[in-house]
Amino acid sequence: MSISQLDREIIFDPEQRSFPEFSLTRLLRTVFDPTEGCRLCILTDFEDVSLMKDFAFLQTQGHEVQKKAHEKFYLALKEGVLAELGMTGGEMFAFKATGGSNLDLADACWDDQGRELSLDQDIYPKYDIILCISDFSATAPLTAKCKDFGFRGATLHGVNDIILASGLAVDYNVVSADTENVRQAMTGADQIEIDFVLQDGACHTITLLLGKQEAQKSHGLSQGAEPDVANLPAGEVYYVPVDAHGEFPMKYDDGTIGLLEVKDRDIVKATLISGNQATIDEQNARLKDDPMTGTLGELGFGTQVLPVSGADIQDEKILGTCHIATGRDDHLGGDIEPSMFKKHENSTHDDILFAPHKTPGIDLAQVRMKRGDQEEILIEHYRPSEYLLKALGVS
């Protein structure tokens, strides 16, 4: 069902939306058409890779994402989905968890017999479709590898029951069409200005310069023969900023809220608004030690009507939210590469999501796009504007 077919009440309250039952057959057939003759495998990550042997992780506490990968993907493939789609394979392999979003993967991996293999020699060249269902996102490294080895794939980090029942249950042909409509409404922008209002009424604004670039989309389809890696759930329009200045608030994992000062596209300083000063001091020390960690690499906007999942991979795709990312953006066509960071472990791509459930003390008061003489409001108070709704065909 396209967004234009949904009631406005549901668009503004996605928790009310109903979805069809999750079908792996439908998901794979839609995302990867054609599937006939393709060999597919699953990758996942563990801190302790010995848990992959004989699927030992199934008998241990935790590892919820890996257990979903086994139950909803591995077993389903073996029990008929592969045959139904004319595919082969279905093997599951583990690699050492990177510990950070979009860090490059080590080459070693392990099968369910505990045998050590090589991603470059045994996996990438031998499979046509690779699903990476992991704790940490591997979109950036797999995007680079697919170009070297010619496979297609999808990254589905952080999968949980809500994502399976909503963000992975939708028709991605429809998601792609809706996302393209939003992309057309936003492409070629000169700049985007974002006003954030805090609980004390203070307003802070960041301006991201985009240089009239063609807006890009994460729309969930990797069809045809071209190497590509989709990020699922999908539904996002994004840019790679060419410059940025101003300031914006950030909520840290411990609940601390800081104000980040941006000059020349870089976060140069964090100041405490509320919470733990040590958290702010830690970020400032990190910025001083490796300034690339504060470079803005992405500005993204959700295009789907989805319920909150508790995992950013879905929640940043919700219409009315936006996110700013720091770090590497080479997988998005940007110029920030892992080699530019002082340490390998610093070369992450980290999304800073602004959404009502994630940042309740920070109001996304208004997002404005300037494109030549045109100025349009895109979002107000986490609600899509009439301009975006019109682009989506909502009357």
Give the pLDDT confidence of 198-226 residue by residue, as tens digits: 999 999 999 999 999 999 999 999 999 89
Q: How far apart are CA 16 and CA 268, in angstroms?
A: 41
Are 112 and 52 a contacting pair, CB within 8 Å? yes
User: What pLDDT shows up at residue 6?
Assistant: 97
Max Cα separation, the chain? 62
User: What pLDDT shows up at residue 395?
Assistant: 85
**What backbone phi and psi angles, to 5 degrees, belong to 389?**
-65, -35
Beta carbons within 8 Å of 373's beta carbon, 6+ residues apart:
none
Give the tens place of pLDDT for each residue, 229-273: 999 999 999 999 999 999 999 999 999 999 999 999 999 999 999
305 φ/ψ sector (left φ>0, alpha ψ -120 to 50, else beta):
beta
CA 237 and chain centroid, separation: 11
Task: Provide the residue type at 28 as one letter.
Answer: L
Task: Provide the residue type at 365 as one letter.
Answer: A
Are 314 and 347 a contacting pair, CB within 8 Å? no
Q: Which residues of the chain have pLDDT under 50?
A: none
Closest CA to 67 of 104, 92, 37: 92
Are 140 and 102 a contacting pair, CB within 8 Å? yes
**Tokens 């590469």, located at residue:** 337
Q: How far apart are CA 108 and CA 116, in angstroms?
A: 7
Q: How far apart are CA 204 and CA 235, in angstroms?
A: 27
Beta bridge partners of 63: none
Are 192 and 208 a contacting pair, CB within 8 Å? yes
Are 270 and 259 a contacting pair, CB within 8 Å? yes
Task: Provide the residue type at 2 as one letter.
Answer: S
Residue ranges covered by each domain of the chain: 20-165, 172-391
Closest CA to 164 of 93, 82, 73: 73
User: What pLDDT shows up at residue 85?
Assistant: 98
Are 244 and 208 a contacting pair, CB within 8 Å? yes
Tell me the whole-structure pTM to 2 decimals: 0.96
Q: How far apart are CA 186 and CA 369, in angstroms?
A: 8
Closest CA to 250 of 220, 284, 210: 284
Strand order in the sheet with 266-274: 266-274, 257-263, 243-251, 203-209, 191-198, 362-371, 374-380, 383-384
Q: How far apart are CA 150 and CA 20, in angstroms?
A: 33
Closest CA to 119 of 132, 131, 133, 105: 105
Using DSSP's 3-state secondary structure scheme, residue 294 falls into helix
Beta carbons within 8 Å of 198's beta carbon, 6+ residues apart:
204, 249, 257, 273, 361, 362, 363
Closest CA to 302 of 323, 318, 281: 318
Tell me, which fold does domain 20-165 have in CATH? Rossmann fold (3.40.50)
Beta carbons within 8 Å of 52's beta carbon, 6+ residues apart:
44, 46, 92, 93, 94, 110, 111, 112, 114
User: What pLDDT shows up at residue 58?
Assistant: 98
Give, in order, the Cα–Cα distances in Å from 82 to each of 55, 171, 285: 20, 20, 50
Give, in order, the Cα–Cα distances in Å from 297 to each of 139, 326, 327, 367: 15, 5, 6, 18
Q: How far apart are CA 209 and CA 274, in angstroms?
A: 29
Q: How far apart are CA 186 and CA 118, in angstroms?
A: 42
Are 105 and 157 a contacting pair, CB within 8 Å? no
- Whether residue 14 has a cis bond before it, omega within 30° of 0: no
Are 317 and 303 a contacting pair, CB within 8 Å? yes
